[in-house]
Amino acid sequence: MKLKDQYSFLLGWKKVFLFLIFLCNCVFSQEIVTGKITDENNIMLSSVLVVNISTNKSSYSDISGQFVIDAQENDEVRFVKKGYYRSDTKITKDNIKTLVNISLLRIETLIPEVKIPHKLTGNLANDSKLFDRPKKKVALQSDMNKYMKSSLNRPLPLSSSVIPSSFRGHDFNAGQIDAVKLLEGVADLVGKATGSKATTPNYIENQNFINRIKLEVNLNFLAKYGMNIENVDRFLVYANDKLQLAKKYRKDFDEELIESELKRIFKEYIKTNKILD
């Protein structure tokens, strides 16, 4: 083969190779599609999922509603956001050259049906009275609210730990070993190793603790019995003495546990105590 023929042969293959590269580039190349997503009120929507269904590629819109995704002509792009109807768009040649504007419609919120237990007459003045709270309940609730903000008006019994030694009687157990107290002492030592020890409150601490119960603990379960302020005070003093509430909770106040203990002891209290004067 002559040199000229060899050169023509190589040149022909080179043209074929370049044509194949150009063809692949046209077939497999992706364009960049950009756009903006808003709602029906023209408010920018962020965090919208943008999915090219044809290629399974995805992206999200930014805080200004702008999005960018790889797509080419005739690709189908879907826009998804919670609380909005999804939208599908088919990419055209114009979409590739210009900004794509997408508007998502908000899904309607169903309002639950309101049932009216009373038969309405059409007279607004009369019908509105059907929905008023009972006067006795309103008055009782008002008294309870005032009571919660008032201070304790019944003095608490003094604990023996705060009575001066000169006013105490003779202790006949002095110098003797008390097995129960010995076990309590061992328990105290174990308690010190595992956590803080609960100490016996004095008169002021007891009074402050009960006042805090009245302010922070839900005592509405007492309202249905029609107890007045003095009766409620008497019950709280009783409960504190029986359950040692101030000793257990004054440093670690837990409203739910205190309310639970009060409800439990109240069942015993009403069996032996008069709750109404």
Looking at residue 108, its pLDDT comes to 86
Give the domain ranges of the chain.
29-104, 135-162+177-272
Check whether 132 has a pLDDT greater than 80: no
Give me the helix-helix angle, 229-243 and 203-216, nearest 10°.
120
Burial class, 258, CB count within 10 angstroms (exposed 0-12 / middle 13-18 / buried 19+): buried
- pLDDT tens figures, 173-232: 555 555 556 656 655 665 555 545 678 889 888 888 988 888 888 888 887 777 778 888
Among residues 71, 130, 128, the alpha carbon closest in space to that of 97 is found at 71
Coil vs helix vs strand at 271: helix
Looking at residue 27, its pLDDT comes to 47
The CATH superfamily holding the domain 29-104 is: Immunoglobulins (2.60.40.10)
Q: Across all residues in the chain, what is the average pLDDT?
A: 76
Q: What is the side-by-side order of every strand in the sheet holding 31-39?
A: 66-71, 31-39, 100-104
Confidence of residue 96 (pLDDT cuts 50, 70, 90): confident
Q: What is the mean pLDDT of residues 118-124?
A: 69
Assigned token pair, 262: 């009060």
pTM to 2 decimal places? 0.35
